[in-house]
Each structure stands twice: as C-alpha cells, then as structure tokens.
Amino acid sequence: MNAADDALLDPHEGAETLRRLPGLSDADLQFRGHHRIKEHLMRETARNIRPTRTRSRRPMALFLAAGAATCAVALAVTFGMNGSDGRPPVARPEPAAVQLLDRVALAAQAAPAPAVRDGQFLYTKTTGHSTALSETTGGGMEPSRTDESAERWVSVDGTAGTLTVNAKGSTTDPVRGKDSASLNGPTYRFLETLPTDPDRLLETIYADARSHHGSDSGSTTGPDQQAFVAIGDLLRTVEAPPGISAALYRAAARIPGVVLVPESTDAAGRAGVAVARVHNGERTEWIFDKGSLRLLGERTVLLKDSAWGKAGTPVTSVAIVGRGVADKAGQTPRQ
C-alpha cells in the first residue's frame, strides 16, 4: 500500500471519523467487537507469541487500546503474527472497522422492514460503471468504461423471474421457484431463512465461499475475500429484513483484513465513510452515509498502476439511488 493509502487509513483520522458519526457511544454497542479483539490480544501475550510486522502502518487499534502495553500488542495483532505452526501472518479486522460496522448494524436493525407480500417485487435502482480491457491495434490493452446503471425487480417469493432494465435493454431471468433461491440468487423470502446470529451466518457464507474459492478450486479470490464480496452483493442486490442486514454487517466485522476508509465517494458523487478489504492490489469499499449510516453503494479502487488504470482509479463503482416495493415487474414504486 502506498503513502496515499497510508494517509487514508491514518488511525487518528479514523478515530475522528468515528467520533463524529451518529448513534450510541462505543460502550453502548451490542456486539462490542473491539472488546473481543483486546481479549484476544491479551491471550496472545500470555502465550509469549512473538509479533511480526508485515507492513509499516500505524494500526487503528491504537486509539482503542487501554494503555501502552496493550497498544504494543494491538500492533502485532492488527498486522498479523506467526503462530507456533509456522503459518503466515493473518490480518485481523481493524477495530475501527469493527466499530463502524457495529453502528451500521444498529442503524439497520432499527430501520422498518419493507412491507412486502408474495407475488410482489423488490425494486432497486443503481447507477455506476465497471471497467473492461480491450486489445488495441498495437497489441496493448486499453481500459474502457461500461455503464452499469440499471433498474431491477426481484420476485419476493421467487415465483417470477428477475427483470433487469439497463442501457442494453431488458432481460428476465428464468423463474427458479420458491425453493431454488440461494446466496448467489437471493429472494426476500430466502433471506428471511438465514440465521440472525452473526457467527452462524458467517459459517454459512464461508461454506459457500470455500466450495467455490477454496484451496482446491483454482480461484485466486480465496474464501476471505469471497465472503466479503458475497456479503456486499447480498446487501446491494436485494433489500434484506432488518435483522438479517444487521447480522450481515456484524458477520463482515469478523472477516480478516477488513479496514476503515474515513473518506470515500460513491458513483452518484455522494461522500461517505467506508469499510473495505484489500485483495490483489485493489480495495473493495462499502460506502455509508455519515448521517444515517445507510448503505450508499460499493466501489473497487486500484492501489497501484496497472493495465486497468492509475492508482486511485475506481475500476467499478455502483451506487444505490432508489429502492422500494412494486406490484408488477417494470412498475416504478410509488414515492
């Protein structure tokens, strides 16, 4: 990560961002994820595990630690440590990101559930872009943007296909039936069946991630990144019941490598705060409104120059600009 990214993740800026966010104080948070992290730190200290720095960056744990000794151990756990079995370091979730996800979860849980019934459709309107590479006449590769703005109608109970309208026209996915919805093709009724306990929910998501992106799959994504991406897709694609949304955010707070990004901008130009995860030189961000803590959208930003663009370029960025419930596919919900 370059100097610009170090500045983005500066712990003092992260602390100030969290202080300015609305909601309950840290002591009132239900999940208390940072408390679990500190307990883990003290257990690791008792085992005399020698910390190993994996990169030179001040950790978010500094502003949460209870003293100089705890801060020193927090540094090791934030950046990873070698266990007795010689495994490589594992990046823990940053406490600042855990705190933000706690607050987002509380806000999501307090939101009213959409009034839906079988036969209706959940409507989502998005705006944004993705990036594709095409070969030039000289044999090089050139990036180009593709409009990803769309309107989508997802059957509440799965008895109708999903209608998508975008710049290319309209498409309707085949009807899958009530019992064929999945994490990769969810309906509202399917989401209602998921566990609201964050640990159990994360186990479900990781089981799917490992089956398609485990060590024997040939995938370069890996289960941790895929779990983060899968949760983001669920939150963005279909509005979930409040309890499930809250559980998804708290599950994400357990994924290794999740960090806080104090300033981010969505595809609609709205400024917000984000949680993110870095993988293969790219940072995938979930962007939240700083006032309501509502999910604004998601983007993936390059952290180094490549064929896809210069460092700092959002190669994909999608903002949620409308949601609602419609009686028919193709019908815009009443405001």
Mean pLDDT in residue range 208-213: 83
The SS3 call for residue 155 is strand
Mean pLDDT in residue range 175-184: 78
Mean pLDDT in residue range 35-57: 39
User: Distances from the Cα of 200 to the Cαs of 94, 109, 151, 251, in angstroms?
Assistant: 21, 18, 32, 9
Mean pLDDT in residue range 284-296: 97
pLDDT tops 50 at residue 219: yes
User: Can you give the pLDDT at residue 10?
Assistant: 58
Q: pTM score, two decimals?
A: 0.77
pLDDT tops 70 at residue 84: no
**What residue segments make up the domains of the chain, in order of their start?**
93-326
* C-alpha span between 134 and 285 (Å, rounded): 25
User: Can you give the pLDDT at residue 280?
Assistant: 93
State the chain's mean pLDDT as an integer. Answer: 80
pLDDT tops 50 at residue 187: yes
User: Can you give the pLDDT at residue 40?
Assistant: 41
User: Distances from the Cα of 6 to the Cαs of 58, 64, 147, 228, 296, in angstroms?
Assistant: 8, 19, 31, 22, 24
